[in-house]
Amino acid sequence: MVVGANVKRWRLECGMSLIELADFADMDFTVLRRIENGERSLKFREAMCIARHLRVKVESLCKRQNGTVYSR
């Protein structure tokens, strides 16, 4: 849930629509929507691609609001 919320937050801060980011990341927008809603895990390749297009580090997608890194 943390990762999906961060993807959505960074996407909105960049002023990107869900469809735009999905196109940039070469993925279906329904998959990205499921990731943002916490219904699907984010694969490493997807995380790399999304982070690159949002111009953030992959680690930024995994951090909780308090700065701790999310891990399972």
**With 0-12 CB in 10 A as exposed, 13-18 as middle and 19+ as buried, what is 1?**
exposed
Give residue 54's pLDDT band: very low, low, confident or very high (50, 70, 90).
very high
The model's pTM is 0.83
Cα separation, 33 vs 19, whole angstroms: 9
For 5-27, the pLDDT digits (tens) are 999 999 999 999 999 999 999 99
Give residue 1's pLDDT band: very low, low, confident or very high (50, 70, 90).
confident
- Across the strands, what pairs with 69? 63
- pLDDT at residue 3 greater than cutoff 60: yes
Residue 14: what are its φ and ψ, rounded to 5°?
-85, -5
CATH of the structural domain 2-61, one choice from 3.40.640.10, 1.10.10.410, 1.10.240.10, 1.10.260.40: 1.10.260.40
Cα separation, 9 vs 30, whole angstroms: 17
In the 8-state DSSP scheme, what is residue 17?
-
